[in-house]
Amino acid sequence: GNSVTQMEGPVTLSEEAFLTINCTYTATGYPSLFWYVQYPGEGLQLLLKATKADDKGSNKGFEATYRKETTSFHLEKGSVQVSDSAVYFCALSPAPGGYQKVTFGIGTKLQVIP
């Protein structure tokens, strides 16, 4: 079946540091890939997505590139802020063909300290 692997964390960084959160996946065909973010006390919200190989999703300074050859979708940001402290979920939506559930990773908690 489909799966998404990401580190649980927490990842602790100082403000303005570079961020990488790794995400690898297992799926057949050409799934769509997502990063969702969950701020404290809130539900998940979409951060960025990519729907085909070599696509780059970007939003709020975050970027992730869909790498088919390495089955990866790593999240990066050049300079994190305290306000980026949250839990980040990598997710996979299977290729079209009737309903198939979205698979979420376990979430990676990011703590940014001033």
Partner 1 sequence: NAGVTQTPKFRILKIGQSMTLQCTQDMNHNYMYWYRQDPGMGLKLIYYSVGAGITDKGEVPNGYNVSRSTTEDFPLRLELAAPSQTSVYFCASSHSQGAAQETQYFGPGTRLLVL
CA-to-CA distance for 81 and 88, rounded, in angstroms?
Answer: 15
Q: Which residue, 89 or 112, has its beta carbon nearer to partner 1? A: 89
Q: Are strands 11-14 and 108-113 parallel, antiparallel or unpaired?
A: parallel
Q: Which residue, 42 or 69, has its beta carbon nearer to partner 1? A: 42
Contact call for residue 96 and partner 1 (CB under 8 A) = yes
CA-to-CA distance for 9 and 38, rounded, in angstroms?
Answer: 14
Distance from first CA to last CA of the chain, Å, rounded? 41
User: Of all helices (H) and strands (E), which one includes residue 15?
Assistant: none
ω before 10 within 30° of 0 (cis)? yes
The answer to whether the beta carbons of residues 36 and 91 sit under 8 Å apart is: yes
Contact call for residue 108 and partner 1 (CB under 8 A) = no
Residues 12-71 that bind partner 1 (CB under 8 A): 31-32, 34, 36, 41-46, 49, 51
Q: How far is the CB of 29 from partner 1 (least distance, A)?
A: 9
Contact call for residue 94 and partner 1 (CB under 8 A) = yes
Q: How far is the CB of 65 from partner 1 (least distance, A)?
A: 16
Chain residues that interact with partner 1, rule: CB under 8 A: 4, 8, 31-32, 34, 36, 41-46, 49, 51, 89, 93-96, 99-102, 104-107
